[in-house]
Structure 1
């Protein structure tokens, strides 16, 4: 077994809010989805563009801090929002839109999809979509399942609802939710940066987050290296949507 096979063996993803355990499919299924363009984890681009993504918000403290930093460095991001939080903090959602960021669907209650029926999965997505639409007047087209868990039922349901499923570049999981230390988050993101990467952060973490402080280092450093921070849609539109198949 080579190292690439090891990287795609099933693994467990532990989420800090719902304490869920989810298993990712093996390499063959992942390759099938990426080859079809059903799952996007990285985009092939000639531009030095990177997409920052933030899951689980909005949060009245963390999201505001992150938005302030993004504004300072004129960086755009994609926020995968949870419908329950959208309902609680509509003004933050409006600010995200007004400042040029992209909203994406991360379900209504961030429940474990592993044992849900097709109708339950559909309800989670649609209910979140309705909350976003009612506040912004805009429909979302991007979806990220909780914990990054996916299977045929989830993929089929998302496709039928008109969504592109977005995960993240495997080496660009900041693991900020585990609070590994600002230095570790910074090192992981900067040392692995490549054009077309999709970076996973969170803007709602139980307890004091290290994400905002890490961004204060990451953004100026990568800008010095010539990187521009764009939304997922902007990244996908670059170079006529030439998807990176596999994880090179």
Structure 2
């Protein structure tokens, strides 16, 4: 009996390879042999890299800066604060962002959906037409008002503020909403140092089109320019531009005075003396012009932008006016009894 088992085991061992070979060479579906095929080892399919692609952290999203964007407008779009966006991206100067820059937006990071347009319905007038100011109500007072329009680049704004501070002068600043967005620190300094503000619209579009050749803005468009600027300045500083308005390019008519008056702007602040620094004339000509045209109650208009030499001329103008016996103040200072 013991001699049979080795033979049985031998047969079993020999049979197993034959069975496996038959299974490998047959088509399981029809039993037809497959000729000319080679048997390749089977491996599991390759798996994806174990390192996942980088994604923003939970609660964050990314936004690519578009031409014309400011940090303020981006923050408003996503419903977060300017400070939060600046901190999330290590931005020290919030005016220094460039088109194409990728920003990390904190909090929900989800832009508010754009609402469907609503037809504009003019609100009833809430105020009398604005009074046009080009000189003081009381010309017997030997005082002149300084006003500086800020609507282009930052230019000499810091230097102008330094000169005003060193001379103890409070002035008025015609502020566009776009300049305020782009230069919030300077805006805050203007308010902190007790200068008054004039609403110079958001982006300096002519309300009448007289100087630009464009169509006149409709009442709703004019109100949007005013309201947007007022909201930006109020949010950044808590200050208001009311009741002072200055028309871009000095373009206005009766309809403009009626429309701004209805929005709470009682004064359309024009000027008596234009330094004309914006034309590119040298500082020496600016100084001479401003001193020659001095008169009690005069309102001066200067510009802070780098295209004008008003900033470098300012100290000499102050010295010359004081030598002539003039006090220097803001538009509200001139209106005071």
Give me the TM-score of the superposition, normalised by structure 2. 0.56
Shift of 1:226: 2.0
Paired residue for 1:222? 321
Does the Cα contact within 8 Å between 2:130 and 2:257 map onto a contact in 1?
no
Preserved CA contact (<8 Å) 2:286 2:313:
yes
Q: CA, structure 1 residues 61+173, in 2 after alignment: closer, same or farther (shift >3 Å)?
A: closer
1:76 & 1:200 partners in 2: Cα distance?
Answer: 14
2:188 pairs, out of 81, 90, 94, with: 94
Higher RCO (CA 8 Å, separation ≥ 6 residues):
1
Answer yes or no: is the 8 Å Cα contact 1:57–1:79 preserved in 2: no
Runs of 4+ in 1 over 3 A off after TM superposition: 57-61
Once residues 158 and 49 of structure 1 are traced to their aligned partners in structure 2, the CA distance between those partners, rounded to angstroms, is 27
Bigger helix fraction: 1
1:8-27 to 2 correspondence within 5 Å?
Answer: none
CA–CA distance in structure 2, aligned partners of residues 194 and 37 of structure 1: 24
RMSD: 1.6
Distance in 1 between residues matched to 2:203 and 2:154, nearest whole Å:
17
Secondary structure of the 1:42 match is: coil
- Structure 2 equivalent of residue 181 of structure 1: 282
Q: How far has the Cα of 1:61 moved from its partner?
A: 3.9
SS of aligned partner of 1:168 = coil
Matched length: 199
- Structure 1 residue 57: Cα displacement: 4.1
Give the CA deviation at 1:88.
1.2
1:213 to 299, 306, 312: 312
Q: Matches of 2:130 and 2:256 in 1, distance apart?
A: 15
Shift of 1:89: 1.1
Aligned 8 A contact 1:182 1:213 in 2:
yes
Is the CA contact (8 Å cut-off) linking 2:130 and 2:261 kept in structure 1?
no
Q: Distance in 1 between matches of 2:330 and 2:154?
A: 22
Aligned partners of 1:99 and 1:225: how far apart in 2? 26
Please identify, of 39-48 and 118-127, the stretch whose mean Cα deviation from structure 2 is larger: 39-48
Contact 2:154 2:304 in 1 (8 A): no
- Structure 1's 57 and 228: CA in aligned 2 closer, same or farther, altered over 3 A? farther
Q: Which runs of 5+ in 1 are unaligned?
A: 1-35, 239-248
Name 1:30's counterpart in structure 2.
none
Q: Identify which of 42, 45, 62 aligns with 2:135.
A: 42
Alignment partners' CA distance in 2, 1:194 and 1:203: 23
The one of 93, 103, 108 aligned to 2:202: 108
Q: TM-score, normalised by structure 1?
A: 0.76
Taking the aligned partners of 1:133 and 1:203, their CA distance within structure 2 comes to: 21
Deviations 1:142-188 (A, max 9, x none): 0001000002221111100111111001xx11111001111111111
State which of 147, 157, 161 in structure 1 corresponds to 2:263. Answer: 161
CA distance in 2, matches of 1:236, 1:58: 28
Match of 2:113 in 1: none
How many angstroms apart in 2 are the aligned matches of 1:174 and 1:116? 28
CA distance in 2, matches of 1:48, 1:183: 24
